[in-house]
Amino acid sequence: MAHAEHKQIVAVDSERFYRAITKYEEYPSFVDGCRGVQVERKGPGEARTHYQMTIVRDVSYTLDHREFPDQRRMEWSLVQSDMLKKNVGRWELTPLADGRTEVKYAIEIEFNIPVPGFVLNQLVKGSIPSMIRSFEKRAKAGN
């Protein structure tokens, strides 16, 4: 199992960044490794979304998302997957006085197949900063 938490300051306001992280269907156009997203259900404060990703290999999974727009927070948990035992995490956004945002990202992920812990930890921890930069770029573009 891999667990990672990361904090980063981005040069975009929290509202725009929040919109970028909750437009799940747009992930394939800017998130590395995301091959497809299907929003199965979307309602006030929640979404069920199916992802097709390339992580260590091709992986499909469905997540339930809980959205807290007033708090600029989003959490997710695994519903089902062909390769994952666990995938839980959260985004927490804190607006800063100068229009920037403090982004806190946390994830806990575990595969059904054996993956050495040091490999999985490096993969997860190493990819988070660039993923956050992708969301920052998307938010700046106004999408």
Q: Does the pLDDT value for residue 2 go beyond 90?
A: no
pTM: predicted TM-score of the whole model, two decimal places: 0.90
- The reported pLDDT for the residue numbered 110 is 85
Specify the CATH class of 2-140 in words: alpha beta
CA distance 11 to 115: 35
**Residue ranges covered by each domain of the chain:** 2-140
17-47 pLDDT, tens digit each: 999 999 999 999 999 889 999 999 999 999 9
> How many Å from the N-terminal Cα to the C-terminal Cα in the chain?
33
Q: Is the pLDDT of residue 55 over 90?
A: no
Return d(Cα 37, Cα 124) in angstroms, integer.
20
pLDDT tens digits, one per residue of 80-122: 998 899 999 999 999 998 999 999 999 998 888 776 666 666 6
127 φ, ψ to 5°?
-90, -15
Tokens of 2: 């891999």
Average the pLDDT over each of 3-7, 62-66, 115-119 and give the range with the smallest value.
115-119
Do 138 and 17 contact (CB within 8 A), yes or no?
Answer: no
Q: What is the pLDDT of residue 72?
A: 96
Contact between 67 and 46 under an 8 Å Cβ cutoff? The reply is: yes
